[in-house]
Chains A and B, each alone.
Chain A
């Protein structure tokens, strides 16, 4: 049953819907944040009111939030409220839920906002994907985020936490939760989890999992993703995604586990997920200026590392674009944490406001660099893969939009 929201919630909800419509009409962006702000000004508890009476799945983590959320929504079947414009703080959540009473919701949540959003929305499932270094100039030290998640998880008595067992920092956060569905997706990124979150001793990584001398070890998982197969909560699932790469198979494994815990058959959900071909421009293939371009988003070392695996042997040309604006983190030092040596011997065109930082990094890594001081035209006879970090991706997404 859909409970009727309180009167002030109703008013505030109308404000969100109408301000967003106005914002879109005026051409002021995608119109989610501003409407959410207007609604919150009228009723600070608006999000809780809007979330009441519906099934909510929250998705958080350093990488894969947007894609996993899109996969949850696609796999669910039927209408799902999603904050699919990437605004993953409270304004975006309010905007996604307003005007859609009773519709189940899949919401991506910024890592540091997760405790507040979970308290307000009382989710059925919280998905914790991974934790790694990102935008360090904001003093967003990953271990501090893991501690805040850990405090949150201890309070989630009516929620299933779908957690990455392969990521020691996520395991540290989720082990306090009363109910956890552990997923073993063989996370390859380890640079941020070298020492034990409990006792700081070095962690040992073995094929069977990671462990520490203090006894903290990789929890046994009910969802297991390996190269050839996927078992979701004990059920074998055929996974044929349109999205490329191992990282998206992992995202799908989390999404299917979340859906299984809200009563959706993971096999049927997996079939529906195959229809997802791009997510907010990510992985989109486009005709542009007489050529073909494909866009890949990578905004931090773990994300870039996964993206390089996928693009290193892709046919055609490779362009990489890097900015260092506020939303990207203003310090591009992280370029040296990305294993660009994977591209050694290949030619790469360096673009974006920090193309010289990128070119220097690639040059020292043995990559043949070209500095693109002006936006180049794509070659007519072979495809171009463009890997870009956050604001650079937004620029390229807009530039090549059909």
Chain B
């Protein structure tokens, strides 16, 4: 299993690298080693089973979009690779997004989603209902993301704003994206394991960690 963390120097404002660490550790503790690769600006996009994208400031976000359009992320996903993106990473995967000085900047176009500037920034706790479970995190972005007909949102917003106040992110066969930024997989061990399971194609044995207590505490605070 190969996990590639993409451009942490551009998309890594909020500890987003934590998601790679969490996946690798949860797999390693079950004796399923994950090869973790950090892809920097100078590197070519290497083959991987899962690509991770984080959040970032406007200028770096534009640069990341340029790099990913020029690289062959779309082709890799067509070949079977998966993508998990948060925050600016979510916006970059769509067809276009708005950043300071640009009302419409070209995204990677992996998913038919467009992001426009919202009236105010969305900053605060975010809780999203995903298939009957709660995903908890924190959001900090100025975008409103609209999905084209037929694109499925990642979940329903229980607290916070997400994409538009009602829904958060999007999910396709191989791409998952949420506005819950930073180390969201650290806060939601069940979802980290779902990603791992989808990568391995087989169920994983349970793993007890202190993150279970953290998840329970955040759910008690942010849940309905």
Contact = CB atoms under 8 A, between A and B. Distances in A.
A369 interface: yes
A202 B9 contact: yes
Count chain B CB atoms within 10 A of each CB in A137, A141, A143, A331 and give the residue with the most.
A331
A155 interface: no
Interface residues of A, number: 28
A336 B182 contact: yes
B140 A139 contact: yes
B93 to A, nearest CB: 20
Interface in A188-205: 191, 194-195, 200, 202
Contacts of A195: 9-10, 41, 59-60, 63
A3 to B, nearest CB: 44
Nearest to B10: A195
Given A200-B63, A202-B42, A363-B209, A133 B123 contact: no
A363 B210 contact: yes
B14 A136 contact: yes
Contacts of B59: 143, 195, 200
A336 B17 contact: yes
B140 to A, nearest CB: 6
A70 B180 CA distance: 40
Given A137-B123, A202-B41, A359-B213, 7 more contacts: A202-B40, A330-B125, A331-B14, A337-B12, A357-B214, A360-B214, A361-B18
Contacts of A202: 9, 40-42
A333 B15 contact: yes
A365 interface: yes
Contacts of B151: none
Given A143-B57, A331-B140, A336 B15 contact: yes
Interface in B1-53: 9-10, 12-18, 21-22, 25, 40-42
Contacts of A137: 123-124, 138, 140
B211 interface: yes
Contacts of B42: 202
Contacts of A311: none
A191 B9 contact: yes
Contacts of B18: 333, 335-336, 361, 364
B9 A194 contact: yes
Contacts of B210: 356, 359-360, 363, 369, 371
B103 interface: no
B217 interface: yes
Interface of B: 9-10, 12-18, 21-22, 25, 40-42, 57, 59-60, 63, 121, 123-125, 138, 140, 181-183, 186-187, 209-211, 213-214, 217
Contacts of B181: 333
Nearest to B21: A364
A264 to B, nearest CB: 39
A331 B182 contact: yes
A113 interface: no
Contacts of B125: 330
Nearest to B184: A333
B14 A333 contact: yes
Interface of A: 133, 136-137, 139, 141, 143, 191, 194-195, 200, 202, 330-331, 333-337, 356-357, 359-361, 363-365, 369, 371
A371 B213 contact: yes
Contacts of B60: 195, 200
B186 A336 contact: yes
B63 A361 contact: no
Nearest to B20: A336
B186 A136 contact: no
B182 A333 contact: yes
A195 B13 CA distance: 13
A79 to B, nearest CB: 43
Nearest to A366: B25
A356 B214 contact: yes
A200 B41 CA distance: 11
A360 B9 contact: no
Contact of A139 (B123, B213, B217): B123
Of A133, A195, A335, A364, most B-chain CB atoms within 10 Å: A364
Nearest to A365: B21
Contact of A363 (B124, B138, B183, B211): B211
Contacts of A365: 21
A202 B209 CA distance: 38
Given A195-B60, A200-B63, A336-B183, A331 B213 contact: no
A-B interface, 9 closest residue pairs, ranked by CB to CB distance from nearest? A333-B182, A336-B15, A336-B18, A194-B9, A356-B214, A333-B15, A333-B14, A331-B138, A360-B211
B9 A364 contact: no
B57 A141 contact: yes
B182 to A, nearest CB: 3
